Amino acid sequence: MSIWCFGSINIDHFHHLDHLPSPGETIASRSYRVELGGKGANQSVAAVRAGARVRHLGAIGPDGAAMRAALEGYGVDCTHVQEVTAPTGHAVIMLDPAGENAIVTHAGANHAMALAPVLDALGAAQIGDILLVQNESAFVPEVAEAAMGLGLEVVYSAAPFELSAVQAVLPFVNILVMNAVEAQQLQDALDLPFEDLPVEAVIVTRGAQGASWHARGTAQIAVAAPEVAVVDTTGAGDCFTGALAAALDQGLEAAEVMEFAAGAAALQVTRPGTASAMPTRAEIEALRQPL
């Protein structure tokens, strides 16, 4: 089977700082680098590195050829990546020595793509394939609805969190993935327990505290995060979601899926970078083996 990832492709600009800036403060960067990013691209790379066959649906601008080449270099099928006139999306990522970050993004091509080519591409999907979606691209509800109608399993990473965006996509979602802050915001707004949301399962990630799986009629599944030395937390949630989709594609049971995804994210934060830090399936399996 295949994973189809409809999502952002960004140029990530990393600045390593002595501390994150306060309002009005100007500080010098200790180092700087550029690499592939965007929640969609990160999740595609995480899934393909975790052993899945991945096809990316998204867009770049005239300045995005290197980002497309990077995706292809990881093994992601970019046949259906559009090139538009708007600049490629980008993110400025500021990192402190403890691995915490502050991020500014610009949507660019991610909001300038056309819908029709995406829907045409999905016509080649098979029942049981997985669609990964996030909130950094245009047309997310339309693409999720089309995928569900075609019999795909829709996994939705509700980030960056915006209540109206989440409400628009929820009717077309099988598995909803949020971090603890996003989950609390959604519960506060809807006043519903996770089990009563109109999805098959809700997964809540909690960083170093692990993650939990919530589904109506079943016991909560909680997994701990392996203890690791954190270098950079950027992209950890994307790593979790991409690895989660790969584990689902492999047919693992829910508890194994959660353990696999948590292990992947733990490995990812021990390395600098986003897409470049995604672990391989062999590395994840090795971490899961008992000592």
Secondary structure element (H or E) that encloses residue 40, with its range: helix 39-49
Q: Which of 12, 77, 129, 238 is catalytic?
A: 238
Taking the alpha carbons at both ends of the chain, their separation in whole angstroms is 32
CA distance 40 to 133: 7
Count CB-CB contacts under 10 A for residue 77: 18
Do the Cβ atoms of 195 and 223 come closer than 8 Å?
no
CA distance 239 to 132: 12
Provide the pairing of β-strand 201-205 with 211-214: antiparallel
CA distance 170 to 190: 12
Among 49, 18, 11, residue whose Cα is nearest residue 33: 11
- What is the number of alpha carbons within 13 Å of residue 58 lying toward its C-beta? 40
CA distance 91 to 175: 27
Give the ranges where 85-137 is alpha helix by DSSP (H).
115-122
DSSP letter assigned to residue 77: B
Query: In angstroms, what is the C-alpha Rg of the chain?
Result: 18
Do the Cβ atoms of 159 and 182 come closer than 8 Å?
yes
Q: Would residue 249 show up in a list of annotated catalytic residues for this protein?
A: no
Active site amino acids: 238
